Amino acid sequence: QVQLVQSGGAVVQPGRSLTLSCEASGFSLRSYAMHWVRQAPGKGLEWVGVISFDGLNIHYADPMKGRFTISRDNSKNTVYLQMNTLRLEDTAVYYCVRARGVGDQWGQGTLVVVSS
Amino acid sequence: DIVLTQSPGTLSLSPGERATLSCRASPSVSSSYIAWYQQKPGQAPRLLIYGASTRATGIPERFSGSGSGTDFTLTISRLEPEDFAVYYCQQSDSSLWTFGQGTKVEIK
């Protein structure tokens, strides 16, 4: 069964860091670019960033540049999103997404709440 | 940056009716890079259409996409009860994604 299983969501204080994980099962992650997309409560989808299949090319949306880092370990079939200096406005459900151009497989989402 | 603007924000229709959702791109984008997703409450989005008009695997024929350049459309020919949801268009030019703000299709 093809799926992306996410973990790592939590309630954290502003300014702290958090790392999300996304593990693939039923397929090999090494053939795919992987994106992260987030959705604030009651809001639309916001693209976070992308990492190429080999990890050599990484791009971020402007609000995330300098604070978020996407990485991958193809030997563990896992992609990561490290988030530093978290802000209240980073509160959202975060999705990892498998992509061949478009996102054909989404993780279940993991909730990050930034609150003091 | 490519901006996608969806209209209307909310569409109130009855089961069996036809739904027409619009997505306008600025600047223009190749139809190869336009996709549509459906999202139901508490669920991850699901890919419906890619390449502006190609249905993803398992998507019913009542869903169709069209358009080019700056204007793209998602049509649901006859709404089924399970089609009431939020729909997002997306562009994927240069592997950098942008989403529209979404159109909610609600039961009238």
pLDDT in tens, B28-59: 999 999 999 999 999 999 999 999 999 999 99
Give the closest-approach CA distance of A102 to chain B in angstroms: 7
**Residue A18 confidence class, pLDDT cut points 50, 70, 90:** very high
Q: Which of B97, B99, B103 to mutate to test the interface with A (most CBs of A within 10 A)?
A: B97
To the nearest whole Å, the CA of A105 is away from the closest chain B CA by 8
By CB atoms closer than 10 A (0-12, 13-18, 19+), residue A55 is middle
- Asked if the model's pLDDT at residue B90 lies above 80, the reply is yes
Report the mean per-residue pLDDT for chain A. 96
> Coil, helix or strand for B31?
helix
Closest partner CB to B44 (pick from A52, A99, A108): A108
Between residues A74 and A101, which one has the greater pLDDT?
A: A74
Q: At A116, which amino acid appears?
A: S
**Which structure tokens are listed for B87?**
């729909």
Alpha-carbon separation of residue A45 from A40, B41, B48, B69, B86 (angstroms): 8, 13, 16, 22, 11
**Tally of CA atoms within 13 A in the half-sphere of A3 that contains its CB:** 6
Task: Inspect the interface and report whether the beta carbons of B98 and A45 lie closer than 8 Å.
Answer: no
Here the contacts of A54-60 (C-beta below 8 Å, separation 24 or greater) are: A54/A30, A57/B95, A59/B95, A59/B96
Report the C-alpha gap between B22 and B4 in whole angstroms.
Answer: 10
Does position A101 have pLDDT exceeding 90, yes or no? no
